[in-house]
Amino acid sequence: MSQYHSVRFVDVRLEGDFWKERLDTVLAKTIPSQHKKLAEYGLLDSLKLPNPPPPLRFPRHPNGFTVQVFWDSDVGKWIEAASYALSHRRDADIEAKIEAIVDDFEKAQLPDGYLNCWYLGREPEKRWSNMRDNHELYNAGHMLEGAIAYFETTGRRRWLDIMERYVEHIRQTFGTGPGQKRGYCGHQEIEIALIKLYHLTKEKKHLDLAAYFINERGNQPPHYFDVEREERIKKGWEMQRYAQSNYEYSQSHKPVREQDKVVGHAVRAMYMYTAMADLAVELNDAGLRKACETLWDDVMVTKMYVTAGLGPSEHNEGFTYDYDLPNQTAYAETCASVALIFWAQRMLHLDLDGKYADILELALFNGALSGLSRDGEHYFYMNPLESNGSANRWDWHTCPCCTMNVSRLVASVGGYFVSTAPDGIAFHLYGGISSNLDVGGTAVAVRETSNYPWSGAISISVDPATPKAFDLKLRVPGWCKRATAKVNGETITLSPSKGYATIHRTWSKGDTITLDLPMPAERMFANPAVIMDVGRVALKRGPLVYCVEEADNPGGRVQRLKLSRQSEIVVGENRDAVLGGLVTLTASGKAIDESDWSGLYRTAPPREAAATLTAVPYYLWANRGKGSMVVWVPEA
Amino acid sequence: MSQYHSVRFVDVRLEGDFWKERLDTVLAKTIPSQHKKLAEYGLLDSLKLPNPPPPLRFPRHPNGFTVQVFWDSDVGKWIEAASYALSHRRDADIEAKIEAIVDDFEKAQLPDGYLNCWYLGREPEKRWSNMRDNHELYNAGHMLEGAIAYFETTGRRRWLDIMERYVEHIRQTFGTGPGQKRGYCGHQEIEIALIKLYHLTKEKKHLDLAAYFINERGNQPPHYFDVEREERIKKGWEMQRYAQSNYEYSQSHKPVREQDKVVGHAVRAMYMYTAMADLAVELNDAGLRKACETLWDDVMVTKMYVTAGLGPSEHNEGFTYDYDLPNQTAYAETCASVALIFWAQRMLHLDLDGKYADILELALFNGALSGLSRDGEHYFYMNPLESNGSANRWDWHTCPCCTMNVSRLVASVGGYFVSTAPDGIAFHLYGGISSNLDVGGTAVAVRETSNYPWSGAISISVDPATPKAFDLKLRVPGWCKRATAKVNGETITLSPSKGYATIHRTWSKGDTITLDLPMPAERMFANPAVIMDVGRVALKRGPLVYCVEEADNPGGRVQRLKLSRQSEIVVGENRDAVLGGLVTLTASGKAIDESDWSGLYRTAPPREAAATLTAVPYYLWANRGKGSMVVWVPEA
């Protein structure tokens, strides 16, 4: 089968209402306000070497720990997000702000290429001494991704040149050669960035360095984190600050090809699997591919929330044990769902199977998108599936990773819609895009028009420069049971294989395909091994998981509501002052009467009355003030 | 109304099967095995000053923290438990072991009376410098309680003399006088011990010192913990080890009389309320009484598990917010339920109200007793109300507080059955005891015979030395709706007031009362504000809360089971190889079929089949190997 490759985000225009609204919000609100926060919280000052002003909002912790160790990454990620935004609409003010940051980085960089403002401003002699905890390569990765995005959008090389010098320094520092450190970063990320740099430059050395970091990880004895720790102890540098002697936390407990269970910090895991899948594609590495497939199955079968949230535990920001998916205390970090999208996209290019696109879409519309408020200036770091009303979106976070992860995702979402091969085009997502593609040397203009995800009525025009025979592969989502299609008005038989229906024909200018993906509301049930969800039901329509929120169901905590198994779920188009146009689901059930309770326990059952439940898409929750919310509703 | 006082544990003989079995186990297994553990884990070595051998099992933590800071208390609590046990059956071997410990303490004590082996063996110059974290007075309290119990059982004064010297040193060190420290302990406990010492010696200075610690607590500004912290910083002693800048953690956020919400570490809270209630009785202090009543209501109405477990959170080993009562992750430390028994007993003497006895009983038979295994050598520190099968009793703990709390409770349980006043006897608990009481100067032998808690058929004989008119107050538990009684075979009308039915008459030798407390199995429902328990039901019979355990319901996790609202709950007498004789409850319901599940989520509802659920008393859970357990069962 042909190898499909992603289409660069800059080559895809977002035209559908759903994503245009999100994109406009990110452009107009999120990107500028994030820069303000970076300034306000001292992240921008921290780049002003050699003597960065002390941060006002986060003074030095008495134990010596400061929160700045990963700040370079946040700045890098903001540049990345802003660059994606600029590809949609250039903005001189934003570009000036980026250039000012690049000025600082340029001044900060050492002659040997090293560039980490936390170390340079505080403990330059200790650089590369604590790979386990201090995020140096993680920072480098995010800075590099920012530099690549900025170059792709603007063509400006200065920031990319700085980062290429830094990468060269990293290459000399790490490796299996004499005098090199056999280390790797406690927080995976640079591997993804290096593969992007390889895609941009075609220089294989970048791919090799990414492969080195992946291949070296988890080798032992001795474990590199023990080796460097011994060094630190000798030098009196060991501070035990947020020590993680458990190597599963950073997925370095064994070589990556031997890993078959998803463990540890969820974002680190997802970033690593993304890079592994990337390398499996680029190097045709069967061992990495097998590991990716095994790990994928492990997540899907035992560890993912119905919203595609990942990592139930705050303790390790990650995974615990099979089927441990508590709702109210779900950690489900926004970054983890964003990173699951990255991984799913790479898996899709390893094997064009709709099961990967289904999860990409699920994570996009639920666990990831929930991280950004309607106003574009408030966030969720954690994405619980239930709230007693105390959860609240925040306007910044001591660890602001999720803020820029969700903005860079939205601003680059066009890059996930479509892939091309020398003999085909594959549509993964729908929602209104246009792009000029190259199919085996022929220019093909495509335009997909729809009101997706609210409606499954999709129209696609295919305009090759000259008539050309190729595969048009249309994803038929796993949730869609009765898809139909027409080509130029004539019904065709869809026979999806691995989630994609292939239409092979000679395409000519003006060809039009209509695809209808019926979207009935559905009840979802969880495997009874998820003990938290026994006796409960979730509502879903198309790719959207729904939740019951107090804003639509006033009168007390929504946990008092139960949904009747037999009730019809009514699909309704609505408009909310804050949420805008949306599809709501309503159904009948019961409401427990809380008014006759005084103490904690009693022998008389709670009184119940008939009630109507209204549900809205999960990603929209917590935009209308504080209030309770539940995804898994008890059944009446 | 007359003031009722507790009867000393040494004056009550346990004769009923239920408590005799527990007591025999504690005597024969728990007390000796705990001594072995104290030796094995280095706690006994830690008393061997001036150079205690380093502990083998818990080496020094790299941050300088060692677990020994509270070890004196564990040794003291073991002596206390052992002394209670000795009151039932003297044991030369145990007494020799206690004497050997007293030898060590005697050698360790400084001429000025100071006696804390952790400080004396490590940092003697730092004594009394960190009241917030280092448990010095907490240790002193438990040692004092041990000394009092040992004296009461054996009449031997040496250990008590040592502790009285230490108390004198403490009295000189702390107080409002010139040169005294205006401090108090971060972990309340010594207050209870000092009041016990007052009861023993009648010396008011001990009561005054307890009152000082209670009255001083939470006064600010300045907060004493800030004052001493500044001192430590000046001296370079501040280590920030497990810093708790949140004073709610130790209930020192405001003066105790102003506290109206139960907050912080659950055991600290309960020990403090116990002492407050004690002082309210002894000093007739209306402010303390009011605070106790307000705090009692707060626990009862918003913060107690149905098992009388307290403190949902592992994070602070304590309380969070109203109605936060998660089941699987319940912390519900054994010590907290034990301490709730202490508090309830004091409240009962402040106000003879059955609502306090109901909770005393509930905590005793559920949240506290669950902490000790059938074999007497395994424990629960945490007492969750649900397990996926991973929970396991342990044979020791890095913080072994709960082990000796449950053994001292069982060995002294006789002290909770009955109270006396100059003109009355009040029965709080039933289960088979006999005692020679003093009622206004008249000796009255009482014997209560029953198979409680399995049966509510109770017989009480009252034998005054000479005929005497007094109140016999019989507790009619809150769970009992149709109690009946006869005196010498003649039915009497029971008109319980505040949970006690008073029979006033002239009692003569041979008088017999029979009390029948019908014990139907009951369904319990939780206030819907406890969102975790919506749609769920718990089973209870008499004082016993039941649970559904995998051992009795094989075939997979018990979380697959649902209980039908209308099904009859059948009460059956049973015998289990491990659990012994017990009353089980069975009822019909449904079982979810787990066999047709492969992935995590699906649109088809789980298949269900009819099933019979068998429940056993909660306190007996986790004695038959690993297996899942649930208290709150989903309703079918």
Q: Model confidence over A502-535: pLDDT tens digits?
A: 999 999 999 999 999 999 999 999 999 999 999 9
Min Cα–Cα distance to chain B from A329, Å: 10
pLDDT over threshold 80, residue A76: yes
Give the model's pLDDT for residue B248.
95
**Mean pLDDT in residue range A606-610:** 96
Encode pLDDT of A454-505 as tens digits.
Answer: 999 999 999 999 999 999 999 999 999 999 999 999 999 999 999 999 999 9
A205: number of Cβ within 10 Å: 14
Question: Which residues 318-347 in chain B show a CB within 8 A of chain A?
Answer: 321, 323-324, 326, 328-329
For B325, which residue in chain A has the nearest alpha carbon? A600
- Residue A242 is predicted with a pLDDT of 47
Would you call A401 a catalytic residue per the annotation? yes
H or E element at residue A99 = helix A92-108
Q: What's the confidence (pLDDT) of residue A240?
A: 58
Asked if A557 reaches chain B (Cβ–Cβ under 8 Å), the answer is yes
Residues 6+ away with beta carbon under 8 Å from B317: B265, B266, B267, B311, B331, B333
Residue A64 confidence (pLDDT) above 50: no
Between CA A533 and CA A525 the distance in angstroms is: 8
- Please give the model's pTM, rounded to 2 decimal places: 0.91
- At residue A122 the predicted structure's pLDDT band, cuts being 50, 70 and 90, is confident
- What's residue B245's pLDDT? 63
Q: Which two tokens stand for residue A614?
A: 């209204």
Q: Which residues of A touch B601 (CB under 8 A)?
A: 306, 524-527, 538
- Note the pLDDT of residue A67: 52
Would residue A117 show up in a list of annotated catalytic residues for this protein? Answer: no
Nearest CB partner across the interface for B527, out of A302, A306, A600: A600
Measured CA to CA, the distance from residue A212 to residue A208 in angstroms comes to: 6
Q: How far is B634 from chain A (nearest CA, A)?
A: 7
Just list the catalytic residues of B.
Answer: 317, 401
pLDDT in tens, A221-238: 999 999 999 999 899 887
**Contact between residue B517 and residue B476 where contact means Cβ atoms under 8 Å apart:** yes
pLDDT at A572 over 70: yes
Residue B250: the pLDDT is 97
User: Do B562 and A535 count as a contact with CB atoms less than 8 A apart?
Assistant: yes
User: Is it the case that residue B346 has pLDDT exceeding 70?
Assistant: yes
Is a pLDDT exceeding 60 seen at residue A59? Answer: no
Q: How far is CA B352 from CA A335, B301, B357, B424, in A?
A: 57, 20, 8, 12
How far is CA B512 from each of CA B39, B417, B443, B509, B515, rounded to the nearest angstrom? 49, 18, 17, 9, 10
Indicate if the pLDDT at residue A276 is higher than 80. yes
Do residues B156 and B182 make contact, with C-beta atoms less than 8 angstroms apart?
no
Subunit contact B528:A390, Cβ cutoff 8 A = no
The shortest C-alpha distance from A306 to chain B (Å) reads 7
CB contact under 8 A, B329 and A326: yes
Which pLDDT score, from 0 to 100, does residue B41 have? 84
Cβ distance A559 to B531 less than 8 Å, yes or no, reads: yes
- Per-residue pLDDT, A51: 79
Question: Is A527's CB within 8 Å of B597's CB?
Answer: yes
* pLDDT category of residue A246 using cuts at 50, 70 and 90: confident
Contact between A528 and B602 using a beta-carbon 8 Å cutoff = no
User: What DSSP designation does B60 have?
Assistant: P
What is the average pLDDT across B236-249? 72
Cβ-defined contact of B328 to A328 (cutoff 8 Å)? no
Listed in sequence order, the DSSP H helices in A363-472 are: 401-411
Interface test with A, best of B63, B531, B550, B569 (most A CBs within 10 A): B531
| The pLDDT of residue A421 is above 90 | yes
DSSP string, A390-413: ----BS--SSTHHHHHHHHHHHTG
Residues 6+ apart with CB under 8 A from B389: B550, B557, B626, B627, B628
B10-B13-B16-B19 Cα dihedral, nearest 10 degrees: 20
**Closest CA of chain A from B301, distance in Å:** 5
- Does the pLDDT at position A40 exceed 80? yes
Bigger pLDDT: B444 vs A45: B444
From the list B73, B168, B151, B159, the residue with the least C-alpha distance to B117 is: B73
Report residue A55's pLDDT band, with 50, 70 and 90 as the boundaries. Answer: low
Query: Which residues does B631 contact at the CB level (< 8 Å), separation at least 6?
Result: B306, B307, B327, B385, B386, B538, B545, B546, B547, B548, B618
Percentage above 90 pLDDT, chain A: 91
Radius of gyration, CA atoms only, chain A:
25
Burial class (CB in 10 A: 0-12, 13-18, 19+), B221: exposed
3-state secondary structure of B36: helix
* CB-based contacts of A48, cutoff 8 Å, min separation 6: A104
HEC assignment per residue over B298-351: HHHHHCECCCCCECCECCCCECCCCCCCCCCCCCCCHHHHHHHHHHHHHHHHHC
pLDDT above 60 (res B56): no
Nearest Cα to Cα of residue A371 among A109, A81, A161: A81
Do residue B603 and residue A522 have CB atoms under 8 angstroms apart? yes
For residue range B174-194, what is the model confidence (pLDDT) as tens digits?
A: 999 999 999 999 999 999 999
Residues of chain B contacting residue A599, judged by C-beta atoms under 8 Å apart: 300-301, 527
A399 min Cα distance to partner chain B (Å)? 21
Per residue in B394-411, pLDDT (tens digit) is 998 878 899 999 999 999
Chain B residues closer than 8 Å to A321 by CB: 390
**pLDDT tens for each residue of A280-295:** 999 999 999 999 999 9
Residue type, A139: N
ipTM for this model: 0.93
DSSP-based three-state secondary structure for B510: coil
Region B53-76 average pLDDT: 65
Contact A525/B565, CB-based, under 8 Å?
Answer: no
Say how many CB pairs under 8 Å bridge A and B. Answer: 132
pLDDT digits (tens, 9 = 90+) for A132-165: 999 999 999 999 999 999 999 999 999 999 999 9
pLDDT in tens, B91-103: 999 999 999 999 9
Put simply, whether B60 touches A (Cβ < 8 Å) is: no
Pairwise CA distance, residues A478 & A497, whole Å: 11
Q: Is the pLDDT of residue A53 over 80?
A: no
Using a CB-CB distance cutoff of 8 angstroms, which residues of chain A are in contact with residue B538? 601
A183-210: average pLDDT: 98
In whole angstroms, what is the distance from residue B557 CA to residue B568 CA? 23
Q: Residue B605 and residue A525: Cβ atoms within 8 Å?
A: yes
Cα distances (angstroms) measured from residue A451 to each of A566, B315, B636:
30, 46, 40
Average pLDDT on A33-60 reads 80
